Amino acid sequence: MKKWAYALIVMAATLWGIISIFVKGLAEYGFTTLQIVAIRVVLSAIILTFYFAIKDRQLLKIEPAHGKYFIGTGILSIAFFNWCYFTAMRETSVAVAAILLYTAPAFVLLLARLLFGERLTTGKIAALVVTFFGCALVVGILPSPQGAMPLYGLVSGLGAGFGYALYSVFSKFALRHYSALTVTVYTFVFAAAVMLPASGLWEVRTLLFHWPVVAYSIGFSLFSTILAYLCYTVALAYIETGRAAIVATLEPIVATTVGIMFFGEQLNNWQLLGIILVIAAVVSVQRNRE
């Protein structure tokens, strides 16, 4: 079963890596970044809630006092990092946005130090330095700052990484009381509760019934969200979290490939080196944590 577990992680990383196809497809129909985030989390929340209401209603029971954990995972993490990530895709490129998202492990190290008192070893510090250097190459600050990307794109990408890191922090508290499936369901429910009114999605509701938009929305929610998360969650029952996270670094590679093949994006040699350095740092961090 362990081989199948690794296959599931590869599947999850691939499905996450093709997110840009759905994001850019919806953007072409005039949806704003907030509306695209809303489509993802609202549809996912509806499908997940309906599924578990039929399969096992016990998974939907939570204590009201624990809502604070899902405010963290759903609103401060999922809603925020999705908005930042999709904004970074628009302002930079799919490949650059994906690699900035993968600064998350570096933020996790820093947050774990501040909140949980985890020790920063020499290996962890080295990984942080390599991550910073790799990102500097990807965004163009190095070797020459003349070709650097707009500040807004850079901040959005780093915001995505920070928001993604927050999920590890808040879910750590939530998982003390609930299963991973319950945490996933309520993460999207809480994110949807905020994003639906904030996005103004109802103002463009007529667009939602166009068949291409329906196809993009269902693919976005069903494949790159629900199926991806379920694959990853099931696999975690059979392999260590650290190993799973290492395999999941396939995601930015897939995202880069999609950007080049579907959207005609180009990367110079320095950017490619930066991507390799960031992925190497992520692998190093996960091995260290394991």
What average pLDDT is seen over the chain? 89
> 235 pLDDT exceeds 70?
yes
> 148 pLDDT exceeds 70?
no
Domain boundaries, the chain: 2-289
Q: Which amino acid is at 54?
A: I
> 258 pLDDT exceeds 90?
yes
Q: Which two tokens stand for residue 176?
A: 């003390």
Averaged pLDDT for residues 272-279:
92
Q: Please name which of 195, 275, 181, 274 lies closest in space to residue 236, comparing C-alpha atoms.
A: 181
Q: Please name which of 235, 207, 264, 229 lies closest in space to residue 20, comparing C-alpha atoms.
A: 264
Q: What is the 3-state secondary structure (H, E, C) of the chain?
A: CHHHHHHHHHHHHHHHHCHHHHHHHHHHCCCCHHHHHHHHHHHHHHHHHHHHHHHCHHHHCCCHHHHHHHHHHHHHHHHHHHHHHHHHHHHCCHHHHHHHHCCHHHHHHHHHHHHHCCCCCHHHHHHHHHHHHHHHHHHCCCCCHHHCCCHHHHHHHHHHHHHHHHHHHHHHHHCCCCCHHHHHHHHHHHHHHHHHHHHCHHHHHHHHHCHHHHHHHHHHHHHHHHHHHHHHHHHCCCCCHHHHHHHCCHHHHHHHHHHHHHHCCCCCHHHHHHHHHHHHHHHHHHHHHC
> 245 pLDDT exceeds 80?
no
What pLDDT score was predicted for residue 244?
Answer: 78
> 211 pLDDT exceeds 90?
yes
> 237 pLDDT exceeds 90?
no
Q: Please name which of 125, 131, 142, 86 lies closest in space to residue 104, comparing C-alpha atoms.
A: 131
> Which range, 15-29, 160-174, 253-267, is most confident?
15-29
Terminal CA-CA length for the chain? 21
pLDDT band for position 132 (50/70/90)? confident
